[in-house]
Chains A and B, each alone.
Chain A
Amino acid sequence: MGAQKKSATPRVSEDPEDLARNPLQAILLADSFATTFRPITLERPKVLLPLVNIPMIDYTLAWLESAGVEEVFVFCCAHSKQVIDYLESSQWSSKPNFIVTTIESHNSISAGDALRLIYERNVIHGDFVLISGDTVSNMLLTEALQEHRERKKKDANAIMTMVVKQSKPSPITQQSRLGTDELFMAINPVTKQLLCYEDKAEYSKGFISLDKTLIADNPSIILHNDKQDCYIDICSQEVLSLFTDNFDYQHLRRHFVKGLLVDDIMGYKIFTHEIHSSYAARIDNFRSYDTISKDIIQRWTYPFVPDILSGSTAIKVERQGTYRASDVTVSRSADIGSFTFIGQGTKIGNDTKISHSVVGEGCTIGSNVTIEGCYIWNNVTIEDGCQLRHAIVCDGVIMKSGAVLQPGVILSFKVVVGQQFVVPAYSKVSLLQQPTHLDSDEELEYADNTSGTGEPGYKLNGDITPDLSETAYELGAGGVGYIWSVFEGVQDEEWRQSVAPIPTDKLIKLMLEKDEDDEQLTQDGNVFSASGELKADSDDNGSGDDDNEDSGDDYVFFEKEVEATFLRAVNENVKVDHAVLEVNALRLSYNMASVDCAGAIFYSMMKLAVESPHNSASELHKNAADIITKWQKLLKSFLHDIDEEIEVVLKFEEMCLESAREFAALFPQILHLLYDKEILQEDAILKWADEKEGADAADKVFLKHSEKFIQWLKEAEEEDEDE
């Protein structure tokens, strides 16, 4: 914050506009508008879920405060009351230079709705940071903000700066460490403008398509699949009004970003800011919850680490990354392994082993318990002999003795697991029954939230005892809770975003599949390197590989087409303008350059000359001269610069060698003719001569033939200079 103010003062003098500069504002969306954290989010909003024993929103707010943001609008939707209550009772309500204002809404079902509502309130007065309440970061905003402002000053259309970070997705699972799908971004390396944003880039199809104009407009594009979107955006005010204008924008990325990138009428631009050494990540799913928790414990997010953030309760960091609150009762024989967090008031019994886990406050853990890679929230009771591996255990859960959690299990609030019961891997258990209308259809994820927002009042009471009918005893003797059924088809994918590490057998399977795929793809000539080969979105069947191969064939077809067009033009006396139009159309459909056209037209003309009846060389010359004179306009319309003229000469040479040897003798004459008709300029001919100078003798045949002519040209040129 200090830096902000300091940098502001000197600028005031030089830029009077900045005098009225507003304090930096931020919009924090305290709702993910997604269902990935169900069933937990049915009872508590995602932003209040503890991340290493501190609610996620605290990390976000603490970062915003440190980054110099002075006013934050927290947009609450689902469970809004809980969020508001929390914020009011927390330290954030009483910070002197950091105002946290809540905006409540019950009928917003997406980020788009939220921003529209905020726009209506008219509270944002300048650039703002758009972030969701589940983002952990320690980056410095000043640099990105500066970049954004300077860009904005130069180009009013640069309305958004997206923060990205290097992150290499696993080649096997095609997903990042955070469990998000592989993301493809096309970025202009010089201006850092974002040109294309493709998450889950139809990888199955093996290609992504880029608009051809992108390649035409930008001198260079880098296509990344090794960047992670941090979901921290620096936006200008226009962003809000854009959302209002486009009432169908819902999702920030899927609709808004893609919409802007596609829309070239308004010309709005998005830029990226890459961070290198600092941390930024968003908790999108259970896997990222796991990853980010570990990162926090390993202090990549410093200074936002538990021992500094949790102000009141003293937490000490011990060796090997063990965090321990002050009044923890741990049996002497218990083994607290590395990278473990033990919250206040927790009791741990004899011979219990805990490693790589977070244990919240007020938990009671019995003897001979094994806990590995688990996230145990507050007031959980785990009786003797339980085994927990890679699970999330919410507040108030009771695990009776001998119960076992297999990897990937989620136990929602107050679930009771019966004695000796084994909860199968990847199951989600809640006291609430699974909503029947939950379709798991991603497109409906906004709609789903209506249910979330509709019920908060009833959930807030906390003492809801859902009628636990007989079916509630799915969890063994004395157990309470429903095991949510997994949807067909989703089941296979469950491991992808679970808290549990990806099982090795899955990895092996995927690896094998991938190998097979690769083989198949290579056989089809269809393989794409991971870096993403570009494919011009015009033609045919092709992938990059056979593009190269059939570009030769393409040219042959193209030449034939041009020839046919030309002959038709000659026979039917088509106007030259029309012929130009037709050839141009062919050029576009075959994706050729005008060089190719010039070559092809000239070829057709000469071929016609050869094929028309003639008895002697002089007659042939006459034929050629007639045709050239008649159709020179057609040819000229494709001769924009010297390269194309050289192409004509080369083509002619090639013909003389291969298809129309009769011309060989006439080469200098026709060259002269072309020069006279101003089809070829002397520069082109001389350049051609220069190029050929270095070639071997066989190639020089025609150069020799036309030596005289070239000599004459050179002399003429010198004379010109003399004058």
Chain B
Amino acid sequence: MHPAVYKVGLQYLSGDIWGGNARCIAMFQAFKEAIKDYSTPPEKTLIRDLTARISSYVSFLIECRPLSNSMGNAIKFLKNRIAKLPLVLSESEAKATLMSDVDRFINEKIIIAEKVIVKHAVTKIRDGDVLLTYGASSVVEMILLHAHELGKQFRVVVVDSRPKLEGQLLLRRLVRKGLSCTYTHVNAVSCIMQEVTRVFLGASSVLSNGTVYSRVGTACVAMVAHAFRVPVLVCCEAYKFHERVQLDSICFNELGNPEAISKVHGREDINYLDGFVNQEKLQLLNLVYDATPSDYISMIITDYGMIPPTSVPVIVREYRREHLWS
């Protein structure tokens, strides 16, 4: 096991690195290190051995925390690159090519993609808007900050939920930059939605039937927004698109620590579930993601432009053609 991969795995495990893009970048940086230090053992070929090596790393990372769809795509990309390496290349040349491929992926598919999304999304913010966001999405944060820099007059409503309360981090950064914000929890979303004019959401993955797979609670926010006739804009980089189809959140999900929802941080007096956790008839369900059906999504903003959720299969197809089969 390469130490860089090991470190990233532990960081996933402890929750130090979270968020789709951050996890993906961390993973790729670790793989880059691993490739740099890699030397083909005697009597083996680089292409086969490195692929096996990467697979073992990936299975280690999965043990630490299940992969997200976006990471799956990224790994697929890397493996494809390895497989497509021309046989004539020397080991050092092959490694250099792979490392530059990894860098290019991070740069093009994540960093530039985010910038492009911001550029598109900012056009949807008008003066006097009240923008609602849920959780803490890095792209949405960039959009809000950029719009603020452009001098647009708008307010932000940050909706958050237990147990992670990531929204507070986002809120902190926004307020520090001088945006006027309202903070509330998801319980109050139907109350606050009346004054909202746009909903901006991040996504962990967009599936080919247009379903948005995202932080648990997103579906609820999108549905409330839909009921209030507020447009829901999902911001998602194209590398997170996935050809899978999923109809509900239970069939494929990640389970969080059940302890996290049975306890309230900072409120020792709420201990009704103490000693109750192991009861046979009790299930504490702490889902990490949920699936938002495409009906509730007005538009998906991606690096290929702004598309309706019905057009996701096109992006998936084109993306695959461009990166996986080329």
Q: Which residues of B contact A319 (CB under 8 A)?
A: 194-195
CA distance A542 to B123 in the complex (A): 63
In the complex, the chain B residue whose C-beta lies closest to that of A338 is B180
CA distance A319 to B194 in the complex (A): 10
In the complex, whether A320 has a CB less than 8 A from a CB of chain B is: yes
In the complex, the chain B residue whose C-beta lies closest to that of A337 is B180
In the complex, the chain B residue whose C-beta lies closest to that of A319 is B195
Interface positions, chain A 310-356, Cβ under 8 Å from B, are: 319-320, 338
Q: Which residues of B contact A320 (CB under 8 A)?
A: 182, 195
CA distance A320 to B180 in the complex (A): 11
CA distance A319 to B182 in the complex (A): 11
Interface positions, chain B 191-207, Cβ under 8 Å from A, are: 194-195
Q: Which residues of A contact B195 (CB under 8 A)?
A: 319-320
Q: Chain B, interface size: which category?
A: under 10
Mask of B182-220 contacts with A, CB within 8 angstroms, 1/0? 100000000000110000000000000000000000000
**How many residues on A have C-beta within 8 angstroms of the other chain's C-beta atoms?**
3
In the complex, the chain B residue whose C-beta lies closest to that of A321 is B182
In the complex, the chain A residue whose C-beta lies closest to that of B191 is A319
CA distance A320 to B195 in the complex (A): 9
Mask of B242-260 contacts with A, CB within 8 angstroms, 1/0? 0000000000000000000
- Name the prevailing secondary structure of the A interface residues: helix
Interface positions, chain B 239-278, Cβ under 8 Å from A, are: none
Q: Which residues of A contact B194 (CB under 8 A)?
A: 319
Interface positions, chain A 392-411, Cβ under 8 Å from B, are: none
Q: Which residues of A contact B180 (CB under 8 A)?
A: 338
Minimal beta-carbon separation of A294 from chain B (angstroms): 14
Interface positions, chain A 275-326, Cβ under 8 Å from B, are: 319-320
Mask of A113-133 contacts with B, CB within 8 angstroms, 1/0? 000000000000000000000
CA distance A338 to B195 in the complex (A): 13
Q: Which residues of B contact A338 (CB under 8 A)?
A: 180
CA distance A319 to B130 in the complex (A): 12
CA distance A338 to B180 in the complex (A): 10
CA distance A319 to B195 in the complex (A): 8
CA distance A338 to B194 in the complex (A): 16
Minimal beta-carbon separation of B291 from chain A (angstroms): 32
Minimal beta-carbon separation of A370 from chain B (angstroms): 15
Minimal beta-carbon separation of A689 from chain B (angstroms): 47
CA distance A705 to B180 in the complex (A): 78
Minimal beta-carbon separation of B308 from chain A (angstroms): 31
In the complex, the chain A residue whose C-beta lies closest to that of B195 is A319
CA distance A320 to B196 in the complex (A): 12
In the complex, the chain A residue whose C-beta lies closest to that of B192 is A319
Minimal beta-carbon separation of A148 from chain B (angstroms): 23
Q: Which residues of A contact B182 (CB under 8 A)?
A: 320
CA distance A229 to B195 in the complex (A): 39
Minimal beta-carbon separation of B267 from chain A (angstroms): 10
CA distance A535 to B194 in the complex (A): 58
Mask of A228-253 contacts with B, CB within 8 angstroms, 1/0? 00000000000000000000000000
In the complex, the chain A residue whose C-beta lies closest to that of B180 is A338
Mask of B96-115 contacts with A, CB within 8 angstroms, 1/0? 00000000000000000000
Minimal beta-carbon separation of A337 from chain B (angstroms): 10
Minimal beta-carbon separation of A411 from chain B (angstroms): 28
Mask of B158-192 contacts with A, CB within 8 angstroms, 1/0? 00000000000000000000001010000000000
CA distance A338 to B182 in the complex (A): 11
Minimal beta-carbon separation of A668 from chain B (angstroms): 56
CA distance A188 to B182 in the complex (A): 39
CA distance A514 to B180 in the complex (A): 29
Minimal beta-carbon separation of B265 from chain A (angstroms): 15
Minimal beta-carbon separation of A326 from chain B (angstroms): 22
CA distance A18 to B180 in the complex (A): 54
In the complex, the chain A residue whose C-beta lies closest to that of B182 is A320
CA distance A319 to B77 in the complex (A): 49
Minimal beta-carbon separation of B192 from chain A (angstroms): 9
CA distance A356 to B159 in the complex (A): 23
CA distance A319 to B188 in the complex (A): 13
Interface positions, chain A 624-668, Cβ under 8 Å from B, are: none
Minimal beta-carbon separation of B171 from chain A (angstroms): 15
CA distance A319 to B180 in the complex (A): 15
CA distance A319 to B155 in the complex (A): 13
Minimal beta-carbon separation of B38 from chain A (angstroms): 46
Minimal beta-carbon separation of A172 from chain B (angstroms): 16
CA distance A473 to B18 in the complex (A): 66
CA distance A320 to B184 in the complex (A): 12
Mask of A513-536 contacts with B, CB within 8 angstroms, 1/0? 000000000000000000000000
Interface positions, chain B 10-53, Cβ under 8 Å from A, are: none
Minimal beta-carbon separation of B61 from chain A (angstroms): 41
CA distance A320 to B181 in the complex (A): 10
Minimal beta-carbon separation of A372 from chain B (angstroms): 13
CA distance A319 to B192 in the complex (A): 9
Q: Which 5 A-B pairs have the closest CB atoms?
A: A319-B195, A320-B195, A319-B194, A320-B182, A338-B180
- The interface of chain A, by Cβ under 8 A from chain B, is 319-320, 338
- The interface of chain B, by Cβ under 8 A from chain A, is 180, 182, 194-195
5 contacts between A and B (CB under 8 A): A319-B194, A319-B195, A320-B182, A320-B195, A338-B180
